[in-house]
Chains A and B, each alone.
Chain A
């Protein structure tokens, strides 16, 4: 158990420090890298409590896809150069009370959930999860997700799909005058229609491209 405790403290210290550094670091790209480090150490903690499936999915989804897009956006927008003016400007100080209110609400929600869990053990019914040693947690997760919670699972999938299509619809612009390449046309082009041999009369030239 000693090694377990040592690893737990290593990962949780890294997680907490990198979470602080996400907000504290001056360079925006650095804070995204700290966010990635945070995700990785959180997924290590998941693996340590035996939830290896969730840990791996966390790595694949958050680190492998979501954080790449974060990094993409931050690098493309070049936010790093704008940050100083933004923090010093008057317009940003108006956000501070709102941020404080939101963080207070989140804090109280967490206290209610954790406190209720601690002092009233049957607040959340945990009996449906049958964790035996024979079944891996991927199997047991699937058994719960695709039987008891199938509707919620499907609905959340549909919501994600709608959000994805909505984002495409909102940003899609049909522009006129843009030359589009048709692969079928390019491949099916023959020499006979692409090349023409012309006798060029002297001092007159030929008219190409009409």
Chain B
């Protein structure tokens, strides 16, 4: 019986985390389209609800009531599994994100590795979707995406090593607390820039949205999907983007810490600060989408392997030598 109580409590906590994440994903889609439109001097979605706020809800309704078409020659089990995996992986990573020192679903020792592992698993949803569709464009898109995500994971991993050298712990709360005196964006600013660009590539956002480059590949791995299954890919993608923004704000912008440790700022709860930082990073994501043209595939690979990887490796050496020389290495 005691297990039942624990299970109910945990389910309550999980719902309390997941429902806000899903609602904010819907809102973020609206924000993304609005920012995109304003940069291009358009209005964007502004009809449904005040300022078009309910546009995502209307879209969701449309997707739910559309027919799900499963291609006759597709591999049906994997075809259905692919969007489910994308969505699930995008949501389970939120379990370790700390919203304040105590408000975290699972405060595990290897939190950062967990997020890294889950985000590297995200490629499977895309590969499975592309392969199971049994069609040329989705397959090409998924192959591209696999190569892209594996390449940029390498540089994200090395950037994380940079941060971990300064912290001395893999726990996300420890990473945040280590930034109490100075956010890591100040000493590690070049790493923040590379992390941001790699996060764009990791989440298949423009200018790195080659897996779904519509001029070449129709819609990439999503071509054969329709209705709710397409919507799940889409939700998973945006949940991943939010997750990358959260990771960026935890690693470099001090997570739930307030920018100034002074009286009026202290009153605001940490969760609000974290959400504001996530929104700031997402605004940058949206602006990049509107401003920058799409990369060519060889340029993308060159950027990842020949520029970001050596540069972040050199920065690891620099950070380590600096910390060692000035005796700043964290102790256990």
Contact = CB atoms under 8 A, between A and B. Distances in A.
A167 interface: no
A29 B81 CA distance: 14
Interface stretch (A55-63, A111-119, A198-206): A55-63
Interface string B106-117: 001110011011
Interface of B: 3, 78, 108-110, 113-114, 116-117, 120-121, 123-124, 127-128, 131, 139, 143, 146-147, 150, 153, 157, 169-170, 298-299, 302, 332
B124 A56 contact: no
Nearest to B168: A139
Say whether chain A's binding surface is mostly helix, strand, loop, or mixed: helix
A21 interface: no
Please classify how large the interface on chain A is, using the bins under 10, 10 to 19, 20 to 34, 35 or more: 20 to 34
Interface stretch (A64-72, A89-97, A170-178): A64-72
A201 B131 CA distance: 57
B332 A56 contact: no
Contacts of B113: 53, 56-57, 60
Contact of B153 (A3, A64, A75): A64
Interface of A: 2-3, 29, 33, 36, 52-53, 56-57, 59-60, 63-65, 68-69, 71-72, 75-76, 135-139, 181, 183
A60 B78 CA distance: 22
B120 A63 contact: yes
Given A3-B3, A75-B131, A75-B143, A56 B120 contact: no
A61 B298 CA distance: 25
Closest 7 CB pairs of A and B: A64-B120, A56-B113, A59-B117, A136-B109, A60-B117, A52-B110, A56-B110
A68 B131 contact: no
Contacts of B108: 52
Contacts of B120: 59-60, 63-65
